[in-house]
Amino acid sequence: MSTNPSPAGDPRPSQLIDLALQGGGSHGAFTWGVLDRLLEESWLTIEAISGTSAGAMNAAVMADGHAKGGNPGAREALEGFWRTVSQAARFSPLQRSPLDVLLGRWSLDTSPAYIAFDMMARVFSPYDLSFGAPNPLTRLEASRRVGDSLKEHAGKLWKDQDWRMDVTNDTG
């Protein structure tokens, strides 16, 4: 077992970890922060990673960044992806109402668009409400680049690992 210094300078044995990342938009953004912190540690080695929904996006972006530049590349890729997602959300109709902003509340309970979407979701399936609109993530250039890169690097992301991944890049 090799040893790498901890941030305090103490030698610490290398530790292999496997990660399973949960889904959910805000959970995905939180997980980005956790991954960023884990990637700072030279003594931690991520041997395997899986995820669902936003967790799968984090796993894919992290794997892509890691393939291109190790842990620093993975950290940079995750930050770039989540910054792009947050910028895209600026124009979402799901925003706090002016009253909520004024009162400092962080709830969408009085947002007109949220109320309308909530009422429709109680009557219709999300599949009925897409109106033929594509997945909003397909508009993010970062998600396209990551999908293409993972197809190229699948199986060789981490050396000496038998690593396989099915990657789809649905654009429609």
pTM of the complete model beyond 0.75? no
Q: Return the closest-CA partner of residue 63 out of 160, 147, 162, 169.
A: 147
* Predicted confidence band of residue 54 (pLDDT cuts 50, 70, 90): confident
Distances (CA, A) of 6 to 10, 11, 41, 64, 132: 5, 6, 7, 26, 51
Mean pLDDT of 45-50: 88
Q: Which residues, 6+ apart, have CB-to-CB distance to 143 below 8 Å? A: 57, 81, 137, 169
d(CA 63, CA 55): 12
Q: The dihedral of CA 120, 126, 130, 135: what is its sign? A: positive
- Burial status of residue 56 (CB atoms within 10 A of its CB: 0-12, 13-18, 19 or more): middle
3-state secondary structure 50-77: EECCHHHHHHHHHHHHHHHHHHHHHHHH
Q: Return the closest-CA partner of residue 115 out of 99, 90, 100, 94.
A: 94
Each residue of 111-166: pLDDT tens digit?
888 898 888 888 887 667 666 666 666 666 655 666 666 666 555 444 444 444 44
